[in-house]
Amino acid sequence: MKSKAGVLLGRLMRNIMRSPDTIITVAITPIMMMLLFVYVFGGAIEAGTDNYVNYLLPGILLMAIASGISYTSLRLFTDVKSGLMTRFITMPIKRSSVLWAHVLTSLVSNTLTVVVVILAALLMGFRSSADILHWLAVAGILGLFTLALTWLALIPGLRAGSMEGATAYSYPLIFLPFISSAFVPTETMPKIVRGFAENQPVTSIVNTIRALLYGGSIGNDIWIALSWCVGIIIVAYFFAGREFKRKFG
């Protein structure tokens, strides 16, 4: 699987590099949002920190990944509708390699996006007290989050009847951080909104990353975050595989 998936991965990555609009949209949009919130809204937001970019960055990273995931659905949808997927499954390769190529492409492309966003944050004053182990833990959580959303993205990519349908599911994911602890502490929210914010996956993931980067108390957040990510991966993997078998036999 690895060699075949690697060849398919190379094809998808070449397509990404030939599509500058994709790169610009995925990398630049979260950076622009970070600039907007730090330099326009940051002075009016009470987040309990002197450097708002430090507070904001974890949520921006999740938004960047969610934005990039929409292109995973689009790439898979394009392969299905063009007939390329049908051609692939007639070749002497494992069928799972086709889906894994899209998953690996998502991991690579989103890793590049995350690095670019972090570099931009450094220019804006982001600083972290995390050591190498904490950074590796952050990378692991972001990787799990990417895998969870990627396997979720494969389902509409296989099922959708139009390009809009393949990408529309990602919009709620992109805006989910707004109703979480990504931009302001949940304690400042109205009771009903706070109840939702504190019990959705983004908040626990953001809190975990923030604690790892700045030496805060992780508590149960890391286990809640891991449970969300692993749970979504298992469920989405099952339904994506079932949809693939239904569509291509």
Structure tokens at 187: 């304690």
Confidence of residue 82 (pLDDT cuts 50, 70, 90): confident
Q: How big is the chain, counted in residues? A: 249
Position 169 scores a pLDDT of 73
3-state SS, residue 45 = coil
Q: What is the mean pLDDT of residues 17-34?
A: 77
CB 132 within 8 A of CB 43: no
Q: Is the pTM of this model over 0.95?
A: no
Position 99 scores a pLDDT of 84
Domain count for the chain, please give it. 1
Position 6 scores a pLDDT of 64
Which has more pLDDT, 37 or 206?
A: 206
Q: Is the pLDDT of residue 61 over 90?
A: yes
Residues 134-188 have pLDDT tens digits of 999 999 999 999 999 999 999 988 887 787 787 777 778 888 889 999 998 888 8
Q: What is the mean pLDDT of residues 202-215?
A: 94
**Domain containing residue 203:** 2-248
Q: How far, in Å, CA of 205 to CA of 166, rounded?
A: 26
